[in-house]
């Protein structure tokens, strides 16, 4: 059946207009004022804001870590995302044994028959060889047009600078975008060893052994390597004001560099790690200072930062106690594994469902950014950068009908009871939000209706991404 969304205010990255949207099958057929269609189901969006479904280009689903794994699978992560207005996720393929293609083949079954929203994949490059460089050419044919490298996690994930340079150069020739996790792995190793020797094992030392200057230096190094490789580069999970400076410096000097930040870095600081339940906020890279928060906000407001992602990687706070999720009891080992030492705490926080509602209240309603900037940072820009536009990220004829209808006046007492992550806590517990999605469509199908989940496992599709844009 056709669907007709009427009387709403359509918000895109470019403009806002009063118009109606006609959905035929999985796609948008028409976007015009005063549309009528006798055989269509009409959805009255009067007083509502109609946005493209959000795209979160940085999530970790089923990620093994510290003797456990992140607690959301492709069904639960998609459900949580959709409740918060997000309809597309991009996860990562670990480079384990075998070829890149073999690793991709092992990853895809995790989502097949399980994913509840559409999804794509990035490829991690954590082992370097001439063979790996040759295998990069196989990625575009498999729908993967981005890779990720690390300047930290020595002897596990990190590549040397020369290896990163060669990888970037090969990727650029193939139209692949290189994502960089920028921290200084050598400094982290030294400071972590010293902290442990001195008995400094509480959660706040996770941040204090990963200095902000290491990220500033590593981000500039990533920009410089990209310049020399004549390659585009994307800085993930920026959390330090100095990284914003390096991003601006690189762009001012003609480097094709882009970047993202995440909500946890905008709303929490290192002091949260000193709370009795501080492990809830333990993630990598860590939370920083109020001054860093201000620098990140400025980067979002002035367009230096292109994307708001989440780095969603949830773990139970206390995995010894089961929670009820869709009437089933679930318990997974979590952050209790690290009681007594920060080095054993699984690194990561939930966020895929929180991103849009929290940001709407504290960025759009507060007047820090416009609704159009919101649409750009959370949908259009990630779609352009990661090769999904205009299929995703916009509300145009021919685009997938991924749509979130927001009630800008809806008040929500937010927390773990509202968010649908499969974990036992929420960073924003008790926050009062104003503005929340009431209806969400995935390729024209109602997956959230009047705030209630209507989606199902297996309806999400793998997205074979094209070459992205540098914006």
Q: How do residues 13-28 score in pLDDT, each as one tens digit?
A: 999 999 999 999 999 9
How confident is the prediction for the chain on average, in pLDDT?
A: 97
* Cα atoms found within 13 Å of the Cα of residue 16, Cβ hemisphere only: 15
Are 245 and 297 within one domain? yes
pLDDT digits (tens, 9 = 90+) for 74-111: 999 999 999 999 999 999 999 999 999 999 999 999 99
Residue with tokens 């509300």: 395
The answer to whether position 469 is within a domain reads: no
Helices then strands (H, E): number in the chain? 13, 21
pLDDT at 225 over 90: yes
The residue out of 385, 413, 438 marking a domain boundary is: 385
Please give the Cα distance from 212 to 220 (Å, whole number): 13
pLDDT tens per residue, range 202-215: 999 999 999 999 99
Is 436 inside any structural domain? yes
Residue with tokens 């003609």: 254
pLDDT at 56: 99
Q: What is the pLDDT of residues 26-36, one digit of tens each?
A: 999 999 999 99
Number of domains in the chain: 2
Model pLDDT, residue 313:
98
- The answer to whether residue 26 is domain-embedded is yes
Domain for residue 103, yes or no?
Answer: yes
Q: Assess whether 94 and 38 both reside in one domain.
A: no
The candidate with the shortest Cα–Cα distance to 424, out of 347, 318, 352, is 318
In a domain, 264, yes or no: yes
Query: What is the number of other CB atoms lying within 10 angstroms of the CB of residue 290?
Result: 10
pLDDT(112) > 90: yes
Note whether 241 and 370 are same-domain residues. Answer: yes
**215 and 141 in a common domain:** yes
Render 334-370 in DSSP notation, one character per residue: -GGGGTT-GGGSPP-B--TTTHHHHHIIIIITTTSS-
- Where a domain ends, among 333, 364, 385? 385
**Residue pLDDT, tens place only, 45-82:** 999 999 999 999 999 999 999 999 999 999 999 999 99
Q: Are residues 92 and 216 in the same domain?
A: yes
- Based on the fold, state whether residues 107 and 8 are members of the same structural domain: no
At 21, which CATH number? 2.30.40.10
Domain containing residue 400: 3-51+393-421+429-453
Which pLDDT belongs to residue 52? 98
* Mean pLDDT, rounded, for 171-193: 98
Q: Kindly report, residue by residue over 145-165, the tens digit of the pLDDT.
A: 999 999 999 999 999 999 999
Are residues 379 and 417 located together in one domain of the fold?
A: no
- In this structure, the answer to whether residues 42 and 183 fall within a common structural domain is no
What is the residue-wise DSSP string for 246-311? HHHHHHHTT--EEEEE-HHHHH-BGGGGGSTTGGGG--SSPPB-HHHHHHHHHHHHTTSS-EE---
Residue 282 lies in a domain: yes
Average pLDDT of 409-425?
Answer: 96
Same domain, 315 and 169: yes
Q: Give residue 451's pLDDT.
A: 86
- Whether 133 has a pLDDT exceeding 90, the answer reads yes
Per the domain annotation, does 408 fall within a domain?
yes
Question: What's the confidence (pLDDT) of residue 1?
Answer: 80
Tell if the pTM clears 0.95, that is, is over it. Answer: yes
Terminal Cα-to-Cα distance of the chain (whole angstroms):
37
In a domain, 60, yes or no: yes
Residue 348 and residue 408 in one domain: no
At 154, which CATH number?
3.20.20.140
* Closest to 427 (Cα-Cα) out of 210, 268, 195: 268
- Residue 333 — pLDDT band, cuts 50, 70, 90? very high
Q: Which two tokens stand for residue 209?
A: 């052994």
Residue 380's contacts (CB-CB under 8 Å, 6 or more residues apart) are 12, 13, 52, 389, 393, 394
- What is the arithmetic mean of pLDDT over 346-375? 98
Residues 33 and 75 in one domain: no
Query: Which residues touch 328 (CB under 8 Å, ≥6 apart)?
Result: none
Average pLDDT over residues 236-261: 98
Q: Tell me, yes or no, whether 361 and 435 share the same domain.
A: no
């Amino acid at each position: 059946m056709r669907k007709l969304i009427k009387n709403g205010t359509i918000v895109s990255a470019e403009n806002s207009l009063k118009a109606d949207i006609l959905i035929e099958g999985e796609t948008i057929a028409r976007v015009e004022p005063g549309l009528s269609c006798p055989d269509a189901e009409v959805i009255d969006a009067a007083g509502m804001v109609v946005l493209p479904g959000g795209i979160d280009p940085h999530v970790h689903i089923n990620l093994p870590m510290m003797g456990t794994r992140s607690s959301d699978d492709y069904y639960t992560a998609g459900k949580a995302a959709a409740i918060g207005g997000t309809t597309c996720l991009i996860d990562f393929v670990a480079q384990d044994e075998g070829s890149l293609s073999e690793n991709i083949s092992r990853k895809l079954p995790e989502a097949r028959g399980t994913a509840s929203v559409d999804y794509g994949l990035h490829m991690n490059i954590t082992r370097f060889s001439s063979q790996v460089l040759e295998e990069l050419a196989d990625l575009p044919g498999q729908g993967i047009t981005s890779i990720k490298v690390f300047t930290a996690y020595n002897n596990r994930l990190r590549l040397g600078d020369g290896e990163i340079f060669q990888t970037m150069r090969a990727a650029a020739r193939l139209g692949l975008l290189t994502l960089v996790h920028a921290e200084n792995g050598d400094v982290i190793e030294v400071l972590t060893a010293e902290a442990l020797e001195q008995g400094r094992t509480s959660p706040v030392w996770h941040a204090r052994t990963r200095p902000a200057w290491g990220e500033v230096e590593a981000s500039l190094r990533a920009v410089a390597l990209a310049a020399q490789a004549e390659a585009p580069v994307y800085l993930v999970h920026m959390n330090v004001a100095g990284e914003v400076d390096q991003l601006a410096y690189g762009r001012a000097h003609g480097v094709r560099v882009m970047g993202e930040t995440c909500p946890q870095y905008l709303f929490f600081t290192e002091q949260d790690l000193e709370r009795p339940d501080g492990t809830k906020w333990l993630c990598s890279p860590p939370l920083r200072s109020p001054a860093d928060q201000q620098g990140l906000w400025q980067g979002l407001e002035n367009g230096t930062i292109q994307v708001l992602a989440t780095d969603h990687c949830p773990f139970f706070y206390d995995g010894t106690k089961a929670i009820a999720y869709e009437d089933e009891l679930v318990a997974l080992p979590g952050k209790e594994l690290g009681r007594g030492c920060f080095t054993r705490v699984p690194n990561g926080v939930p966020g895929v469902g929180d991103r849009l509602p929290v940001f709407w209240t504290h960025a759009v309603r507060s007047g820090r950014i416009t609704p159009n900037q919101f649409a750009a940072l959370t949908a259009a820009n990630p779609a352009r950068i990661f090769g999904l536009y205009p299929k995703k990220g916009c509300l145009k004829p021919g685009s997938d009908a991924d749509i979130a209808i927001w009630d800008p006046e809806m008040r929500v007492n937010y927390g773990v009871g509202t968010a649908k992550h499969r974990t036992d806590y929420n960073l924003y517990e008790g926050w009062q939000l104003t503005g929340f999605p009431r209806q969400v469509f995935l390729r024209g199908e109602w997956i959230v209706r009047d705030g209630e989940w209507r989606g199902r496992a297996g309806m999400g599709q793998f997205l074979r991404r094209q070459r992205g844009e540098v914006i």
